[in-house]
Structure 1
Amino acid sequence: MSAPLVDIRNVSHRFGQHPVLKNVSLAIEPGSYTILLGPSGSGKTTLLSILGGFVTPSEGKVFIRGEDCTSVPPAKRPTTTVFQDYALFPHMSVGSNVGFGLRMQGVDGATRAAKAREALALVGLAAAFDKKPHQLSGGQRQRVALARALVIEPAVLLLDEPLGALDLKLRRQMQDELKAIQKRVGTAFVHVTHDQEEAMALADHCVVMNDGRIEDEGAPERVYARPKTRFSATFMGESTILAGKAGDSRDGRVTVTTGLGSISLPGRSPADASVALAIRPEHLVLGDVKGDVALGIAKVSDVVFQGSFKRVLAASTQDPALQFIAKAPASAAVRAGDTIAVSCNAGDIILLAD
């Protein structure tokens, strides 16, 4: 097995006495699109800054292409960073902005111009070479910043919430464009965001962070369908969480005692261990059509139409503290105040250590 492109080993960091990263290790493969996902204060931006050379970790090492880059300054490591505010020079033309990194490397003017035109063509802005940044839209300026980063052919491109300033429609358009560009150039992208939908749309490697640690990582499909921790189950998408205690485990199944009764599901757990059962909204069944696990009766508190589905919140009548979060078909005749049966299939329940 070949060595990873980026190898972050046991990195910790403190600002004063406050720890922001706690013994983080992470491998990033060549050609991958890695998303660092987490809430504010989880350490994802600090980890990106350490990878880019803007912050030296208090402990640990960062290797890129097998070389120790822990203390190497940003300009001398094979990375470039695209910031949320784009940081374009307003007095320079778009072409000069894109070629600026090459200029700092001592590349001659004719070569700079040719490479800048190629990079702008790559991001669909070939006609913008002689324009100034203020003549472009937010999405176009974002693409200029991307072209400026790619033109110097980095081993790793770092993106710090690059779509945060865009409106919803443009953000989704840019997600598609970013993924397409990454596939064309083959550069490893590492992208920080707190937006779960953005992570699932872009990543082939999703890293969920919380309180300075990595909670979960892997393909987004796996992280969503079978999260490893309770935090991951509630941050990477929504889940209804049932607290319980594990009982007998046999033949690949475990019985869990919950406030709604005993539930048998696939999995294993030590007897008497405290566990949590997570159920994704699309796996909760409302009304007469029943799954193989009955979850009792609930009273609907809110129904929100979201285009292709309705998001339904309902409180269990058996355990009022338990709130079900369900997705119902857009055509479903469900409204606030309704009392409905709730069920699911055992195979869709996620068993987590509590």
Structure 2
Amino acid sequence: MTALVSIEDVSHSFGATRVLEAVTLALEQDSYTVLLGPSGSGKTTLLSILGGFLTPERGRVLIKGMDCTGMAPAKRPTATVFQDYALFPHMSIGANVGFGLRMRGVARPERDERARAMLDVVGLASSFGRKPHQLSGGQRQRVALARALIVEPAVLLLDEPLGALDLKLRRQMQDELKAIQKRVGTAFIHVTHDQEEAMALADHVVVMNHGRIEDQGTPERVYARPATRFTATFMGESTIVPGTVFNSMIDTPLGRFPASPGAAHVAIRPEHVSLGGPIPAVVTDVVYQGSFKRVTARTGHVTLLARLPAETAIGAGQEVTLSINAAHAIVLKD
């Protein structure tokens, strides 16, 4: 089966700075892909190349089997939702949503009808005649989404669309984005540096670092079995310790774990650390986070993170013993 989007050996630089290096990626129809990485990892540059706002120095971009590498944004089967939404303040919500159809020469009665239908899809059917300043941030985000979807793109590109929203609204919009994507069936490609957002939305996560793809796959696989040390630290928290392999086991300061040849480090997720066990430690910090306590403890020369139940009675300076669920230890190669 041919991929909906094929990025083939794409590289790009800004002056002397290389921002993408030989990126190759295939994305499927109906998928929700999140490009995840820190600032400077190349994710926004890659999105700009997909949208036609940049032409790569090397490589090509195919969408629906068509070479779109040098094609203008308006000519390719994509639409983009920007972080600032870019709504026209003097236009009604209906006119904003129908703007792309207007540029394609669609008559007003038809574009108004389609705009109303698309506003209904994003839950804003009653806002057709209002102006952007009369809506909340989350509502304006949904208007921008409707405006992009109404032109029926094969791929919708979202450039950190939730970055300007507060935490509660951001989580609400995550649920709404996923539901809308499933309803319309368009492939979404979403850029963020927020790991929780990536795991909440994506069925395909692409972790980027220094212009390269570090890892990709389902959120569950990338989190539970990251391919690289960078992924293990960026996709959630981990305590990473070095080790030495002998007889199919890796010896570390935190114990022995099953390993294959070439293993060099073990990553321990904080939710796999519990009270009671063979590891003596001293608690150095406790942060209450509602549903759990984030505990930092020192054992030898290792600082170990643990996620303990919220009701756990524990405080800084306390001596404890800890155990690690070896079945969930993540063994990493160099």
TM-score class, shorter-chain normalisation, is over 0.9
Partner of 1:126: 125
Out of 300, 307, 315, the residue aligned to residue 298 of structure 2 is 315
Shift of 1:264: 3.2
CA contact (8 A) 2:19 2:41 kept: yes
Partner of 2:251: 257
Asked if 1:278 corresponds to 2:267, the answer is yes
* Partner Cα separation in structure 1 for residue 123 and residue 163 of structure 2: 21
Q: Alignment length, in residue pairs?
A: 334
Over the aligned positions, Cα root-mean-square deviation in angstroms equals: 1.0
* Partner Cα separation in structure 1 for residue 289 and residue 163 of structure 2: 22
* Partner Cα separation in structure 1 for residue 319 and residue 38 of structure 2: 34
* Partner Cα separation in structure 2 for residue 80 and residue 119 of structure 1: 15
Partner of 2:330: 350
Runs of 4+ in structure 1 off by over 3 angstroms are: none
Out of 296, 299, 303, the residue aligned to residue 286 of structure 2 is 303
* Partner Cα separation in structure 1 for residue 45 and residue 76 of structure 2: 17
Asked if 1:338 corresponds to 2:318, the answer is yes
- Letter paired with 1:30: Q
1:241-292 alpha-carbon deviations (Å, 9 max, x no partner)? 11112222xxxxx22132345x132x3114xx6x110011100122x2x3xx
Shift of 1:347: 1.2
- Letter paired with 2:320: I
* Partner Cα separation in structure 2 for residue 156 and residue 148 of structure 1: 14
Structure 1 portions without partners, runs of 5+: 249-253
Partner of 1:222: 221
- Letter paired with 1:280: R
Q: How does 1:148-227 map to 2 (within 5 A)?
A: 148-227=147-226
- Letter paired with 2:47: L
- Letter paired with 1:339: E
* Partner Cα separation in structure 2 for residue 134 and residue 214 of structure 1: 39
- Letter paired with 1:84: Q
- Give the % identical residues: 66
Tell me the TM-score normalised to structure 2 length: 0.98
- Letter paired with 1:259: P
Partner of 2:237: 238
- Letter paired with 1:347: A
